[in-house]
Homo-oligomer: A and B are copies of this chain.
Amino acid sequence: MIVAFCAPVVEAVLEVMLGLMGEFDLIETFFKRPPRHAELGVGDDCALLSVKAGQQLAISSDMLVEGRHFLSTVNPEHLGHKALAVNLSDLAACGAQPKAFLLSLSLPEVVPQWLTEFSKGLWALADLHQCDLVGGDTTRGPLNICITVLGEVSAQDALLRRAAQAGDDVYVSGHLGDARLALEVFRGNVSVPQAVFEAARLRMEKPTPRVALGLALRGLAHSAIDISDGLLGDLQHILKASGVGAEIETQQVLGTMACAQTAGLSQDDLLRFTLAGGDDYELLFTAPQHQRNAIAAAGHASGTAVTRIGKITASPLLVLLDPHGQPMPNSFASFDHFKTT
């Protein structure tokens, strides 16, 4: 790969070469490697992939648009990471093992420096999860990144939204609200110390897909979803699909925000960012109470913080509890790509 030798001189040569670069050179230079899992990778009409006996294919697709899912100022290496991360997060939420992905990319122009950094972030995360880039498309147009990810999971192990049961504990992984904090700083709505902003910005631009936790939860959790549009909105998907309700202890949710103590935010902002922030890419899952020790062990084994934030109820309502265990109003809107501007 040419990108492995990006000393300034080589970069200058690349600049000249890529000025004349066409679609196939672009793929060859930045997005082609021999596959490890797939039978046939980039370079034919289709990629070919075997699925192990007893396993099902888990598939998901996410499209990222400039100005909506990322800012034009984003570090391209982080963007390459994030484009794959948000897709791996969907596999994690199903308890699937990542195998391969397809990348479709619409670019306003071919900028070698940008592509070098974008592909660096993409490959680093793909390598971490041994996930092959097996195909896709490149074209000229407004910046748009569409990734389809493929994984394996057996029918009985798959974690779905529809299997939450009354009495289940409700958990979240990692940290909620920090990504939204970074967005609000970018929007000029909130001001925080520089170090807090940098940490929050990394959470927004470089989320960690909880693949290892998803795998560890197979056989333990009843239901799962990844939190991309805000905790409460995504929880509603589980509740609706399972025909149940939930009681959520807001104090527990607040405690998951990494910057909660240092950002100097109002209680209202803290609640809003953690309960309905969006862009968290953490797992929200439910599990029977008798699995509490096993859940803690799964979190430990996968190196992921896991916080119990409430319980599933038979009554199909979503109730928020204040620090005194009293119900409080729920006026938090989840993120919607067509309703939010």
Report A's interface with B, CB cutoff 8 A: 20-24, 26, 39-40, 43-51, 53, 56-63, 65-69, 90-91, 93-94, 96, 100, 102, 104-107, 110, 134-142, 144, 146, 148, 150-151, 153, 155, 158, 160-162, 224-226, 241, 336-339
Closest to A20 in B: B339
> 27 A-B residue contacts at CB 8 Å?
A23-B336, A39-B56, A40-B160, A44-B161, A45-B90, A46-B60, A46-B94, A47-B58, A48-B56, A48-B57, A48-B94, A49-B56, A49-B57, A49-B59, A50-B51, A50-B56, A50-B57, A57-B57, A59-B102, A59-B148, A61-B104, A65-B106, A68-B141, A106-B144, A138-B338, A142-B144, A146-B146
Contact B44 A104 (CB under 8 A): no
With A and B bound together, what is the CA distance between A102 and B62 in angstroms?
10
Q: Which residues of B contact A90 (CB under 8 A)?
A: 45-46
With A and B bound together, what is the CA distance between A313 and B138 in angstroms?
31
Closest to A47 in B: B59
A234 nearest CB across to chain B (Å):
10
Contact B136 A46 (CB under 8 A): no
With A and B bound together, what is the CA distance between A191 and B2 in angstroms?
46
Q: Which residues of B contact A104 (CB under 8 A)?
A: 61-63, 146
Q: Which residues of B contact A224 (CB under 8 A)?
A: 45
Q: For A106, A134, A162, which residue has the most chain B Cβ atoms within 10 angstroms?
A: A106
With A and B bound together, what is the CA distance between A188 and B144 in angstroms?
30
Having A45-B225, A46-B91, A67-B141, one finds 5 other A-B pairs with CB under 8 Å, namely: A22-B339, A23-B339, A51-B51, A63-B137, A102-B148
Contact A137 B62 (CB under 8 A): yes
Contact A139 B63 (CB under 8 A): yes
Contact A58 B46 (CB under 8 A): yes
Contact A148 B61 (CB under 8 A): yes
Q: Which residues of B contact A138 (CB under 8 A)?
A: 337-338
With A and B bound together, what is the CA distance between A257 and B28 in angstroms?
33
Q: Which residues of B contact A44 (CB under 8 A)?
A: 94, 160-162, 225, 241
With A and B bound together, what is the CA distance between A241 and B40 in angstroms?
13
Contact A46 B65 (CB under 8 A): no
Contact B47 A60 (CB under 8 A): yes
A337 nearest CB across to chain B (Å):
4
Contact A139 B337 (CB under 8 A): yes
Partner pick for A60 among B61, B110, B135, CB 8 A cutoff: B135
A47-B58, A338-B23 given as contacts; is B226 within 8 A of A65 (CB)? Answer: no
Q: Which residues of B contact A225 (CB under 8 A)?
A: 44-45
With A and B bound together, what is the CA distance between A137 and B105 in angstroms?
15
Closest to A24 in B: B336
Partner pick for A142 among B57, B141, B160, CB 8 A cutoff: B141
Partner pick for A139 among B45, B51, B69, CB 8 A cutoff: B69
Q: Which residues of B contact A162 (CB under 8 A)?
A: 44
A56-B39, A134-B59, A135-B59 given as contacts; is B45 within 8 A of A142 (CB)? Answer: no
With A and B bound together, what is the CA distance between A44 and B59 in angstroms?
10
A319 nearest CB across to chain B (Å):
22
A144-B144, A241-B43, A338-B21 given as contacts; is B63 within 8 A of A153 (CB)? Answer: no
